[in-house]
Structure 1
C-alpha cells in the first residue's frame, strides 16, 4: 500500500514538474512587453511631447501587450550615451539628435555637408526620407544595433546668434569666437567663414556668454528662448538655416526582433501617421520662438535665397575634403548630391 502511494506521488510530482515550465511560459506570455524610452530633454520640450504622444498611442493600440515607460531629463542616459545603452540592451527606445551619435555612426554628420547649407526644409525631408536616409538607417542598424522606426523628427534650423556685434551677413562672423554644440562639421564652417570655433556645454552657455567667453553661438530660436539668452546678452541673429538638427527615433534591435509582425507593423504605422503633425509642431515652435526673441529686442537678418546659394557655392569647393575629414562615406555623399542637385 505504501509502495503504491509512493509510486502515485512520484507520478503526480512528475506531471506537476513537467507542467510547471509550460505554466510559467504562459504567464510570461501574458505579461506586457516592457518599453523603456530615454530622453535627456525636459518634459516641456516638443521632442518629449511628441514621443509621449506616440508611446500613448502605441500602448492603446497594443491592447496592453506593450507597456511604455518614458524617462525624461536624462534620468536614464544623456543622448551622448544612449547609443551605447541601445547597443547593450539597457534601454528599448531613444530619439537622439543625429549629432550625438556621430562618434559611432559617422555618416550621421552628413547634415553638415555644404550642399545642404541654407536649403529649404522640403529638400532636407527629401534627403532624410529618401535614399540617403535609407543608407544612414542601414548604418545605424549595423553599428547601433537599432531599428529606425520611421522618418526623423526635426528639431529645426540652426543659425548664428551674436551678443554684441551685429551679424547682417556671413562676412560679419570674421574674428568672432563662436560656440557650437560640437562636431567637426560645425567647427569647419566657423573656420571657413573666418570665425573661431568654441565648444561649451549647453548648461554653461548663459554664464559663459554673459562673461564674454565667446561672442556668439550656433543654435536654434527655440533653444535660445528655452535658456532666455537675451538675458545673457544676445542681440543679433543671422537666420541662415545653415543645417537642420534631426532627432532619430530608434528601437533596440533586440526589442524589435522580439515583437511579432503585427506589433512591428502597428508601431511603424503609428509613427508614419503622426510624424507630419510632429514635424509641423516643431516648425511652429521655432517660428513662435523667433517672435519671442524679437519681442526681447533680438534683431534678425534673413539672407536672400540668392545669398544663400552664393555662400553654398563657395563652401562646396571644400565639400570633398570635409567629407573625408568627418568620415562621411563616399556613397552617402553621392546619394545626397543626387537628391540635392549641385547645391547652386
Structure 2
C-alpha cells in the first residue's frame, strides 16, 4: 500500500511539474501534512501568492496539503531526495537524526508564545536550522504548529496532573511527550494523526493533545467533552528545503524566497491571533467545556514534568541550552 501511495504521489507531482514548468522557469513543489483549513497551510498559500506575483510568474508554487505525499517523516525524506522541494514538518521529526531537535518541543520549555518566537528567531533557532545541513537539508525558518492543549472525555474538567491518571491519551510518537504524560500518570498512546478522530469516537482512546487549530479544524471537539488550555508544549514546524533546489536558485530568487517566507510567517501569526478566540468560542458553542488554567494550576503541571525536561536537556550540547536560556526571556 505504501509503495502504491508513493507511486501515485510521484505521478501526481510529476504531472503538476510538467504542466507548471511549461509556463514557468522554476516550479517549487511544497508538501505538508496539515489540513488545508489550517493556519500553516494558509501561510504557504500566502508564500505562493507573494512568490508568483513578485516573480511575474517566473516562479510557480504547487502545494500538496493533507498528507497527500506522506506524513512529516516521509515528506522530510522526500525533500532530502528532491522529490519535493520544500516542506514544514514538526521539528521533533528531526530528532531521529539529532536529539537537539527535541528541545523546542519539551514541555514548558518556553514561558509563552512570545518567548518561543524570540528564541526560535534568535541564536537558539539559528543553531538548530544550521544543524539541518548535516542531514542533506536547508533550514529556512519556523512556522507555528501551535500551543498544545488537552482534550478529554473523562475526568472533566482536567485542572491538575492527577486528573490524567490512567487516562489513555493520544500523543505524537515523540519520546519527550510520552514521558511527560507518563509523569502525570496518563497512558500515552501514539498513533497517526489521521486516526485520532475515529479513535476518540470509538473510545479506543479517552483523550488527545493538540494545538487549538488542529482541535478545531479536525473537529476533535465533536467527540470530546472538555478542553483544557494547558499550553504544555509550544509546537513548531521547521521549514526545510532541498539543497540542490535551493542552491540552484539565482541570488535574486533566493532573496525572494526568504522574503516571501518571512512575510508568510508574519501573516500566519496574524491569523493565529484572530482565529484562536473564535475557535474557543465555537468549541464552547458546541457544548464542550473549555477550562483556562490559573498560573498556579499551570505551575503544578510544569513542576511535575520538570524532571523530563531536565533529562532531555542534559543530552544536548550545553551551548544550545545556553542559547535557549538567553534567548527566550
Please state which band the TM-score falls in when normalised by the shorter chain.
0.7 to 0.9
Q: Which residue does 2:114 correspond to in 1?
A: 122
Query: Which residue of the partner structure matches residue 8 of structure 2?
Result: none
- Which one of 276, 292, 295 corresponds to residue 305 of structure 1? 295
Distance across 2 between alignment mates of 1:31 and 1:196? 51
Q: Give the match's secondary structure for 1:102.
A: helix
CA distance in 1, matches of 2:230, 2:313: 21
**2:54 is aligned with 1:61:** yes
Structure 1's unaligned 5+ residue stretches are 1-27
Post-superposition CA distance 1:62-113 (Å, at most 9, x none): 2333232222333333322111111111211112222333323432221233
Deviations 1:246-298 (A, max 9, x none): 12222211111111212211221222234222112024323322211111111
1:334 matched residue in structure 2: 322
Aligned to 1:13: none
1:60–1:231 Cα change, 3 Å: closer
SS for the counterpart of 2:95 is coil
**Partner of 2:305: helix, strand, or coil?**
helix
Matches within 5 A, 1:218-257: 218-232=209-223, 234-257=224-247
1:217-246 alpha-carbon deviations (Å, 9 max, x no partner): 1112222222333432x1112211111121
Distance 1:67 1:38 in 2: 14
2:171 maps to which of 170, 180, 199: 180
Matches within 5 A, 1:96-175: 96-116=89-109, 119-148=111-140, 150=141, 152-166=142-156, 167-175=158-166
Deviates more, 1:153-162 or 1:304-313: 304-313
CA contact (8 A) 2:105 2:235 kept: no
Deviations 1:149-191 (A, max 9, x none): x3x1212110111113211222211221211122001101101
The question of 1:90 aligning with 2:83 is answered yes
TM-score (norm 1): 0.81
Q: Contact 2:102/2:312 (CA < 8 Å) preserved in 1?
A: no
CA contact (8 A) 1:83 1:144 kept: no
Q: Report the aligned-residue RMSD.
A: 2.3
Corresponding position: 1:40 with 2:40: no
Instruction: Identify if the C-alpha distance between structure 1 residues 69 and 274 changes in structure 2 by more than 3 Å, giving closer, same or farther.
Output: closer
Q: Which residue of 2 aligns with 1:9?
A: none
Which structure 2 residues correspond to residues 181-330 of structure 1 after superposition, within 5 A? 181-232=172-223, 234-323=224-313, 328-330=316-318
* CA–CA separation in structure 2 for the residues paired with 1:93 and 1:256: 9
- For 1:202 and 1:114, how far apart are their aligned partners in 2? 20
Contact 1:169 1:238 in 2 (8 A): no
Change (3 A) 1:145 1:339: same
Which deviates more from structure 2 when the two are superposed, residues 166-175 or residues 270-279? Answer: 270-279
Is 1:76 equivalent to 2:76 in the alignment?
Answer: no
Task: Report the Cα distance in structure 1 between the residues aligned to 2:119 and 2:200, rounded to whole angstroms.
Answer: 34
